[in-house]
Every structure is written in structure tokens, then in C-alpha cells.
Amino acid sequence: MHTATFKEIKAGKVTDVYFQRTKEILKKKGIRRRVAVEVTTKSLPEEWSWAVFVGLEECVELLRGLRGVDVWALEEGTLFFPSMPVMVIEGEYTSFGCYETALLGILCQASGVATRAARCKKAAAGRPIVSFGARRMHPAIAPMIERSAFIGGCDGVATVKGAEMAGVAPTGTIPHALVLLTGGAAEAVEAFDDIIDRTVKRIALVDTFSDEKFEALSAAAALGRRLYGIRIDTTPSRRGNLKEILREVRWELDLRGFRQVKIFVSGGIDEKRIEALNEFSDAYGVGTALSNAPTIDFAMDIVSIDDMPVSKKGKLSGVKEVHRCPVCLGTWVTPKGYAPKRRCNHAAPCKKLLRKSIADGTLTKELPHPQTIRKSVLKQLALVSLS
Ligand SMILES: [Zn+2]
């Protein structure tokens, strides 16, 4: 596989060569200074007003064991805004500087995927969404994509390894291959019903050979009350007006007493499509929009050297603290040790969001399970809007 192993990443091989050269120069010149670096982003993609911080667990794996290194970070699943530090690393520069490339890569991609998932979940207004995006990215990173998508709010993930990573059972319906090989939508869902464990929901795929409405009705007739739902994944060239197709399918199913049959839509789904289809759709499979989510352009910058504030132009120097009102998610960044100039009137005390996760190379506490992190994301999502 054309992928780096954890051992190679930990050995600093996936680094931009200028960090390697910098390390060599500093070592040979005897420059050993303790720095604090912070990870921030100036802006978010696609005019997002917030994003979800994910990737800490992998960063911690890279940084643990480094003598003299301390790490403060947001907890995974924390909503963040531009110009807000999400991670601070302190230590002798040459002991961790060469990890900048890998650390940013982890955080930029995982947080982008989690944010897209959160936006889709918010748009779906309570309807379930499932991550179908593994096939759009290299298989070596599919588990990371699905863990991030799950944390961001997906209710399920499609791949076996991704589900294992998220700590849930994998979710799936019926592929077009099974419909083609069994001869029709009803035949496929009947075969599925015969063979697959009763605990798995029966969801027929109704867009392979003929019209979605007639295939949905034949699947419903074949399985009766055992049919949980139908999935529509119509190829774009045959879609016409998808919302009208869904309206028609819903109408015909209801008219014939199949009101319990859910409509599941996949193919080209993102938060905008979700908002447009919510009237008739009960659940979504989201693929490319998740796996190909824009990355968050995090940067890592020195903000102090030997406890003296210093930074390049365009960056605020000094180690900072992030304060958040738990009621409105109002967030204020101050120099470390300063009280926030709060601009909301809520009585609840602000929380400090940067928590120490590594002290002198050692993990300070067990990291939470993806299900716990996801619950915290959903709680915060209730307090923000999509725009
Ligand atoms: Zn507040």
C-alpha cells in the first residue's frame, strides 16, 4: 500500500524536509529552547461559522512518550471558531517540531469530515444520516473518516472497520449488484429477508430496473410489514426532480397502507440537498460530501520562546486561554491567566476549553469513547445554526 505506517510517522518520516533540516541545524548549533506552539485557523471553508474539533486521539498517539512535552487541547468534539487556539504544545522545539506536518494533517482532515457530518446532521433535523463515503478515499484512511463522521453526528457508518472504530454496528442496505444478480428489487429484498439476521432492518433498493414508485410497491408487497424502508439512489441522469419522485413514492406507499415504510435517500447528498428533501425523506446516506469534506486549514505557530511571548507577524503572541459560556457557546480568547471580557449575560461560569492531555510525555487521562464525544457534539449543535 502507498501509505505510511504508524512507525514511520512516529519516526518523523512524514514530515516536510525543512523541519528535518531545522532540527539538524538547531542541534548542531546547540540551540535548545523551550517553545509553546499553538494550532489555530484564520478562517473556515465554505463560509462555515463553526467547526468540530476532531483528531486529538491520533495526535496524542504521536506526542505521547516525548520527554518534557506538555499538550493542552480542546476535547474532541468541541465546536470551535476561527482564531481560537485548539491545541497548545510546549516543549523543547527539536523534540516535537518535526511532527507539525503529521499533526496538522490529522487535525485538518478529521475536523473537516466531522464538521460536514455535523452540518448534515443539523440539516436533517433529527432524521438519521449514515456515512457512505469510504469508497471515495483511500481504504487505509476509511476508518478515520468514518470515526470522524460518526463523532460529527452520523448515526451509522457503512464499513466494517469504520464501525469498529466508532464502536457501533455497521449500517447497510442492499447494493445494486444484489438487485441485478437476483433479478429485481422485490427478489433482492426477499433474498435479503431469507438470509440476513432478523435484527438487520430490511431496506429495499428501488431504482435499478424500473420506476422508483413501482419498484417500491413491489418490494412492499413482497415483504409486507417486514419492510422497514426503501432506498432511492437514482443515477443523476435519470433523476429529474428527485423531490417530486419522493413525493410520489410516499403518496403511493401511504395510499396502499405502507405508512411505516421509511424513505432513505443516497447519492450526491449534502446539507443543502438534505434541507431540500426533508419533507419526504426519512434518512440519508452521505458519501462524497463527507469523505471529500474540505479540510480545515489549521496552522501551527510558535507563540512563546523560553516563556517570553513572541510570534511571526499576523499572529498574536503568548500562550492563551479559551473561555466558553456553556449556555450560548460565546467564546473568548485571553492571554493565559486573564479573565475573559464576557459579552453575554448568562450566570453560568465560563469553562476553560484547553485541557491538559499530556504532561511530560504522559497521557493525563483516558480519552472518551466516540459515542460519548458524539453526544457532546449533538448537544452543542442544538445551540448553533447552519449559516
Ligand atoms: Zn452566554
Distance from Cα 343 to the centre of ligand 1, integer Å:
8
Distance from Cα 345 to the centre of ligand 1, integer Å:
6
Distance from Cα 349 to the centre of ligand 1, integer Å:
9
Instruction: Find the domain containing 203 and state its range.
Output: 126-291
Q: How do residues 233-269 score in pLDDT, each as one tens digit?
A: 998 898 889 999 999 999 999 999 999 999 999 999 9
Q: How do residues 34-64 score in pLDDT, each as one tens digit?
A: 999 999 999 999 989 999 999 999 999 999 9
CB atoms within 10 A of CB 353: 22
Distance from Cα 352 to the centre of ligand 1, integer Å:
14
Residue 385 pLDDT grade (very low, low, confident, very high; cuts 50, 70, 90): very high
CB 87 within 8 A of CB 104: no
Residue 118 is assigned to a structural domain of this protein:
no
Q: For position 387, what pLDDT does the model report? A: 84
CB 162 within 8 A of CB 143: yes
Q: From residue 298, how far is each of 80, 144, 197, 337, 353 by CA, in Å?
A: 12, 18, 44, 24, 18
277 plus 309 within the same structural domain: no
Q: How do residues 318-350 score in pLDDT, each as one tens digit?
A: 999 999 999 999 999 999 999 999 989 999 999
Number of domains in the chain: 2
Residue 17 pLDDT grade (very low, low, confident, very high; cuts 50, 70, 90): very high
The answer to whether the Cα torsion of 341, 346, 352, 354 is positive or negative is negative
Distance from Cα 331 to the centre of ligand 1, integer Å:
9
Q: Which of helix, strand or coil describes residue 90? A: strand
Alpha-helix runs per DSSP H in 30-172: 56-63, 93-96, 100-124, 142-152, 160-166
Distance from Cα 205 to the centre of ligand 1, integer Å:
46
158 plus 80 within the same structural domain: no
Distance from Cα 75 to the centre of ligand 1, integer Å:
20
Q: Is the pLDDT at 272 greater than 90, yes or no?
A: yes
76 plus 197 within the same structural domain: no
Distance from Cα 346 to the centre of ligand 1, integer Å:
5
340 plus 202 within the same structural domain: no
Q: Is the pLDDT at 111 greater than 90, yes or no?
A: yes
Distance from Cα 350 to the centre of ligand 1, integer Å:
8
- Residue 190 and residue 108: Cα distance in Å, rounded? 44
244 plus 137 within the same structural domain: yes
99 plus 132 within the same structural domain: no
Rounded to 10°, the helix 242-255/212-223 angle is: 30
For residues 97-104, give the mean pLDDT. Answer: 98
57 plus 82 within the same structural domain: yes
Distance from Cα 339 to the centre of ligand 1, integer Å:
15
Q: From residue 76, how far is each of 86, 173, 357 by CA, in Å?
A: 10, 30, 11
171 plus 62 within the same structural domain: no
Q: For position 294, what pLDDT does the model report? A: 98
Distance from Cα 380 to the centre of ligand 1, integer Å:
13
Q: For position 239, what pLDDT does the model report? A: 86
Distance from Cα 348 to the centre of ligand 1, integer Å:
8
Distance from Cα 328 to the centre of ligand 1, integer Å:
4
CB atoms within 10 A of CB 134: 23
Burial zone of 75 (CB within 10 Å; 0-12 exposed, 13-18 middle, 19+ buried): middle
Distance from Cα 51 to the centre of ligand 1, integer Å:
19
Residue 103 pLDDT grade (very low, low, confident, very high; cuts 50, 70, 90): very high
79 plus 146 within the same structural domain: no
CB 124 within 8 A of CB 278: yes
Distance from Cα 165 to the centre of ligand 1, integer Å:
35
User: Given 291, 321, 340, which residue is the final one in a domain?
Assistant: 291
For residues 271-279, give the mean pLDDT. Answer: 97
Residue 283 is assigned to a structural domain of this protein:
yes
Q: How do residues 161-217 score in pLDDT, each as one tens digit?
A: 999 999 999 999 999 999 999 999 999 999 999 999 999 999 999 999 999 999 999
248 plus 282 within the same structural domain: yes
- Residue 91 and residue 70: Cα distance in Å, rounded? 6
135 plus 24 within the same structural domain: no
Distance from Cα 326 to the centre of ligand 1, integer Å:
7
Residue 139 pLDDT grade (very low, low, confident, very high; cuts 50, 70, 90): very high
**What mean pLDDT value characterizes the chain?**
97
Distance from Cα 341 to the centre of ligand 1, integer Å:
12
Distance from Cα 381 to the centre of ligand 1, integer Å:
15
Residue 34 identity (one-letter amino acid): R
CB 244 within 8 A of CB 252: no
- Residue 99 and residue 214: Cα distance in Å, rounded? 56
- Residue 374, C-beta contacts closer than 8 angstroms, at least 6 positions apart: 77, 150, 151, 152, 153
Residue 120 is assigned to a structural domain of this protein:
no
Q: For position 56, what pLDDT does the model report? A: 98
Distance from Cα 115 to the centre of ligand 1, integer Å:
22
- Residue 210, C-beta contacts closer than 8 angstroms, at least 6 positions apart: none
Distance from Cα 169 to the centre of ligand 1, integer Å:
37
